[in-house]
Structure 1
Amino acid sequence: MAPAALLLAALLGWGIYQYAYDYFAHAASRQKPSKPVDVNDVLKTTVTALTLIGAVLAGLYAYRKQLLSEGDAHRADASQLADRYTTAAEQLGHDQAAVRLAGVYALARLRVVP
């Protein structure tokens, strides 16, 4: 997967470089007198574009990771609530009255707060 991503990034960089070079060559040819293309400007533009694309992709990755983390937290909360409910329900069926009363109190504390 990593070699494919590196190849894709290289192809994207090459495409941006070619586009920027053509853009600067066209702009330079319209000037009187015409000037040669400054390769440093082309390289700066290419690096800037690739940096912007990388920043956007990193932001999307961080956003997706945050969503997955929040989903895991919600599932953990739901699992803990189910475990507490099961324990309280088992206490309600116990032979001793004190344990049954503890089960009632445990169920009362199980309010789900959104």
Structure 2
Amino acid sequence: MEFCGGKVKTEWEKKVNVPKTKKTYCKSKECKKHTLHKVTQYKKGKDSLAAQGKRRYDRKQSGYGGQTKPVFHKKAKTTKKIVLRLQCQGCKHVSQHAIKRCKHFEIGGDKKGKGTSLF
């Protein structure tokens, strides 16, 4: 258990289990109504080698002289905010929805029954 802002958090509140489909509002021009959406987790794309900042950094780093830019070390956060990618099953429109921070996240895991434990 963990004490957090006047509330005691149990172990289960840190674990998030999201269903694979969710019925929510689709704001595309075709739908504009509540439809079923497929839920996936947003992932950052691969960095492009052709981006101007990357080309500038690589040019500065080349040759003698070691590290030229400051390397950040004062990391404060231990978790990232989870971003859900919601794709409408009717019109394939994609929207994103950020949820709270959590240590453990899964999509479509086993449901926790009353008075049972998953592990």
TM category (shorter chain) comes to under 0.3
TM-score (ref. length: structure 2): 0.18
Larger Rg, first or second structure (1 or 2):
1
User: Which structure has the highest strand share of the two?
Assistant: 2
TM-score (ref. length: structure 1): 0.19
Higher relative contact order (CA 8 A, sep 6+): 2
User: Which structure has the highest helix share of the two?
Assistant: 1
